[in-house]
Amino acid sequence: MTGRQKIGAIITLAIGIGIILGYFVLPQPLTFNLLPANDLLNSKNYRGTTTNIVIRGCYDIGVEFTKDEASESKRCADNFAQIREEQRRVNYGKMESDRWTKHSYLRAESRIVDVGGFKGVDAEKFIHMANSFYIVLEPVPEYYKILEKQFSKNPKVTLYKFGLGKENKTLQFDVLSGDATSLFSSKRISSKGGETQTLNIRQAKEFFTSSLNVQEKPIDLLTINCEGCEYELLELVIAEELAQYFKHIQFQFHVDLPGIVQQECRYCQIMNLLNRTHSPMFQFSYTWQAWQLK
């Protein structure tokens, strides 16, 4: 072997060693895999070191789940028949009592936000309890008129003629018979020339942060009874990290409305994610419940 050949062989060997060392010694780029929770839990590729897996829920609201949260949400959804059975056995007398007696912390200086004021039954009871500052949102024109007639002379009550959602929009809907009106029913828009009404929906984040300034003035109680909008509203409050500005949150879930997709999954996810900031005060399966800030 000539001197030139020896030099060439040495250079080739050095390059090979450098490549091998670079692969095993130098830091490798991190790999991000976006997996739904169900896929993750069935995967054997989960690693907590060199691979960072972003866990999304079965209904993606833009929030990353821990592995435990994803596992618990899946377990809850898989056993939803049990939750429905518990709902059928709810003690409605105790539930209605807890809705009021568990809020003895309210004072005259407290601030309450009522999403879905309806005919003012809840508002009247809460105001009677502590004469707190009361903010009512009701998008249905005929119900808003009832609230206006009942509370317009009370300086501590503020009325808003709109509902809350993820975005600003205007909707047409049928007024349903019975004691409630839902935008998520199968007959939201009249198809037979029946009477319809126009509803205004306002972007919830903008309302909470700009109109109510919750960052500087946290709300003592957010109570939600909006016939289906609770899913979207609670998901938004969690995803936008606004939950911390509500000292207490009370809401009623509504079931089997055609306009609500993946209700079991979303119910279970909300329960797990809300637990990050709040702890339960009382819970009646898939109906009324209240949570307090940790």
Bigger pLDDT: 294 vs 173: 294
Q: What's the confidence (pLDDT) of residue 198?
A: 86
Q: So what CATH class is 98-293? A: alpha beta
269: nearest Cα among 248, 253, 257: 253
For residue 286, pLDDT over 60 is answered with yes
173 pLDDT tier (thresholds 50, 70, 90): confident
Which DSSP state fits 29? P
- Give the whole-angstrom CA distance, residue 253 versus residue 243: 18
Domain map (residue ranges) of the chain = 98-293
Confidence band for 184, pLDDT divided at 50, 70 and 90: low
| pLDDT value at residue 179 | 46
Is the model's pLDDT at 50 over the cut of 80?
Answer: no
Render pLDDT for 119-169 as a digit per residue (tens, 0 to 9): 999 999 999 999 999 999 999 999 999 999 999 999 999 999 999 999 999
Smallest CA-to-CA distance from 119 within 47, 30, 180 is with: 180
**For position 23, what pLDDT does the model report?**
46
Q: Regarding beta strands 248-252 and 221-224, do their DSSP bridges make them parallel or antiparallel, or are they unpaired?
A: parallel
What is the pLDDT, as a whole number, of residue 264? 92
Q: How many CB atoms lie within 10 A of CB 26?
A: 7
pLDDT digits (tens, 9 = 90+) for 190-202: 444 556 788 999 9
Is the pLDDT at 28 greater than 90, yes or no?
no
Cite the DSSP H helix spans in the chain.
Answer: 3-25, 37-41, 67-78, 80-88, 92-101, 121-130, 141-151, 204-206, 230-239, 263-274
Q: What is the pLDDT of residue 171?
A: 85
Return mean pLDDT, the chain. 83
CA distance 115 to 226: 6
**pTM (2 d.p.):** 0.79
Higher pLDDT, 217 or 27: 217
Residue 252's φ and ψ, nearest 5 degrees, are -120, 130
Asked whether residue 187 carries a pLDDT value surpassing 90, the answer given is no
pLDDT band at 228 (very low <50, low <70, confident <90, very high): confident
Task: Please state the rounded mean pLDDT for residues 219-231.
Answer: 93
Helices H / strands E in the chain, number of each: 10, 12
Q: For residue 164, what pLDDT is reported?
A: 96
Residue 151: how many other CB atoms lie within 10 Å: 20
